[in-house]
C-alpha cells in the first residue's frame, strides 16, 4: 500500500512539473508571437545620397527601450527615431534588419531613459504630426519636437552639426539641420507653443520677479538657450530648485 501511494505521489509530481513546463512554454510562445508582430513592419527607404549631420533624432546610435504599439507594450533591444520622416525604427533581433513601425499604431515609446509621445494620441488638432519628447513632467508638461530638414549650405561651418556619431564629409553641402520647437501643456490639458521666453513666463506671472533674478545669475558668463531657460523655470516653479 505504501509503495502504491509512493508511485501515485511520484506520478502527481511529474504531472505538476509537466504542467509548469507547459505553462512556461505557452508564456514564451505568446511572448515570441507578440514580439514578432512588432517586426512585421516595412523596411525603411534608404537615404541614397551623401549628407552631413544625421536624420535621426539626435544620434545614429540605437538604444534599448520599449514601445506601446497597438495598445500593447513591447521591449526592443534597438530603437531610434527618424526625425526627418517622423518614423520609429527598430532593429529585428534575429536578422538585424531595420523595420519602420506604422505610426498609426505607435502611441508612445521610451529610449535611452527618455519618453516620447505620438502627437496623434495626444493632441492631433493642435500638434503637427510626429513625435514629441517629454523633457519635463510635473503638474505641467514640456514637450520638445525635432524635425530634421535637408538644407544646402554654403558656409562650411554649418556642415558640422555637432551631433554625436556624425563625421563631416568634405565637399558635401547637403546637411540635415534640426528644427526644434517647444510646447507647454498646462494642468487643464491645453497646449501652447513656446516661441520665446515670455510665452512660458505668462503662465507664472507671480514668479516673474524671482525668476528674473535666477536667470540673471545663470547668465553671468553666457546667455542660456531656450531649452535651458525652460527647464530652469519649470524646476523652480514646480520644485523650488
CA-closest candidate to residue 141, choices 194, 104, 178: 194
pLDDT band at 6 (very low <50, low <70, confident <90, very high): very low
- Phi and psi of 72, rounded to 5°? -125, 150
Write out the three cell numbers for 4.
Answer: 502504491
pLDDT tens across 91-108, in order? 998 888 999 999 999 999
* First CA to last CA distance, the chain: 76
Show Cβ contacts of residue 203 under 8 Å, excluding neighbours closer than 6 positions: 140, 184, 186
Residues 143, 183: contact at Cβ < 8 Å?
yes
Q: Could you tell me which of 117, 113, 21 has the C-alpha nearest to residue 68?
A: 117
Burial class, 50, CB count within 10 angstroms (exposed 0-12 / middle 13-18 / buried 19+): exposed
The model carries a pTM of 0.82
Give tens-digit pLDDT for 158-208. Answer: 777 878 778 788 888 899 999 999 999 999 999 999 999 999 999 999 999
Please report, for the chain, the start and end positions of each structural domain, with discontinuous segments joined by +.
Answer: 1-38, 42-194, 196-241
Angle at 108 between CA 102 and CA 111, to 5 degrees: 100
Amino acid at each position: 500500500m505504501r509503495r502504491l501511494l509512493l508511485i501515485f505521489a511520484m506520478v502527481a509530481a511529474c504531472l505538476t512539473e509537466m504542467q509548469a513546463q507547459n505553462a512556461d512554454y505557452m508564456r514564451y510562445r505568446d511572448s515570441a508571437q507578440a514580439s514578432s508582430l512588432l517586426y512585421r513592419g516595412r523596411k525603411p527607404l534608404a537615404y541614397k545620397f551623401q549628407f552631413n549631420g544625421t536624420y535621426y533624432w539626435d544620434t545614429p546610435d540605437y538604444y534599448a527601450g520599449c514601445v506601446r504599439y497597438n495598445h500593447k507594450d513591447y521591449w526592443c533591444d534597438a530603437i531610434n527615431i527618424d526625425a526627418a520622416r517622423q518614423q520609429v525604427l527598430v532593429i529585428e533581433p534575429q536578422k538585424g534588419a531595420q523595420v519602420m513601425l506604422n505610426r498609426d499604431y505607435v502611441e508612445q515609446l521610451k529610449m535611452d531613459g527618455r519618453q516620447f509621445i505620438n502627437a496623434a494620441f495626444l493632441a492631433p488638432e493642435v500638434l503637427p504630426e510626429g513625435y514629441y519628447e517629454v523633457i519635463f513632467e510635473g503638474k505641467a508638461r514640456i514637450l520638445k519636437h525635432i524635425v530634421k530638414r535637408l538644407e544646402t549650405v554654403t558656409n562650411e561651418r554649418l556642415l558640422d552639426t555637432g551631433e554625436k556619431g556624425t563625421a563631416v564629409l568634405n565637399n558635401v553641402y547637403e546637411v540635415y539641420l534640426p528644427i526644434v520647437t517647444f510646447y507647454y501643456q498646462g494642468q487643464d490639458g491645453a497646449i501652447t507653443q513656446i516661441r520665446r521666453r515670455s510665452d512660458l513666463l505668462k503662465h507664472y506671472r507671480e514668479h516673474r520677479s524671482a525668476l528674473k533674478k535666477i536667470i540673471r545669475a545663470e547668465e553671468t558668463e553666457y546667455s542660456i538657450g531656450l531649452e535651458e531657460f525652460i527647464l530652469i523655470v519649470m524646476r523652480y516653479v514646480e520644485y523650488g530648485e
